[in-house]
Amino acid sequence: LQDRAKKGDVLACARVAGIMAIKRTSDIIPMCHPLLITKSKCDIAPIAPAGTPAEDVPEGWAPARTDGQVGFHVLVTAGVTGKTGIEMEALTGASAACLTIYDMCKAVDRGMEIVDVRLLHKEGGRSGVWDRAERQAAAVEAVGAAGDAPASAPAAIAPAAPAPAVPAIAFIGYQNSGKTTLVEKVIAELTRRGLRVGSLKHHGHHGFDIDVPAKDTWRHHQAGSKHVGLICATRWAEYADTREEDEMPARELLSRYNDVDVVIIEGYKTEGFDNIVVARSGVDRLRGKSSLDLVDGHTLALACNEALARQAFDAGFATRAININDARAICDLIQDHL
């Protein structure tokens, strides 16, 4: 922003790169045809620092991100008159502009990330208008509508749990079963595979700390979770943002997760989420209950030791058992499920 980069004017160069990439997309993407471009534009806006109120965001800047990351927001617009869409040209232009910023600034920070490259809006052609914001709003509305069960619903039949706007997998188990350690490994492995991962944890007591080193939510963030949520009886929080109020329903908080590909949930044994039961031993000594009691129709697998796997097999459980230390196998299962 201060024009002190050794390679020159970063943003001017990135804008030109974005426009050039729009015009040369067919040279890069094998199945894209050359198009007679009628419009090409590349806008780059600095992202406001975390915690900046909307009214204090400087003109020409993008609002602060919910995950607190700063950088630049690149918006590419492309137009064409023809028989094919131009989404690939716009996405290629945005990617090239981001890569140019990286190239010109990598001497300062090689840890920069290019995130959230996606189509926002498309109109024209046989498919008509496609708008990401409208689709996300509709998904959130559907989740809310599904959660409003009528008061006279039969008590003997549990209504189907509404699906969150983003796929979610819960890791459930009794206290000290190894959930947080396994969730850490799964978040890190899925992130390594290129998925944008969010996480949500239930805190069983009143009050909690967030952003504190070594706490579970901090561990989620360190492992790579882009969007961390925490709920207890009196408060709820998104990473670095806490509020005092009644406990927010988990599915309501999940409706805010529109910036990730999958949410990894720690806890919520009774909420009906698709889940992986985590257990290091067969019986919870504190409660005297078997971990196998947690297996239900939403269970994808049992992450456990060999002894419990044999016990589950002998008991006739059809649920797949996976070594609790094999995060890769668990991530393979999650990706297959997605």
Cβ partners under 8 Å of residue 216, min gap 6: 180, 201, 266
Q: How many CB atoms lie within 10 A of CB 152?
A: 6
Task: Pick the closest to residue 196 from 268, 113, 133 (CA basis).
Answer: 113
Residue among 103, 241, 261, 332 flagged as catalytic: 103
Q: Count the residues in the chain.
A: 338
246 is catalytic: no
Q: Which residues are catalytic?
A: 103
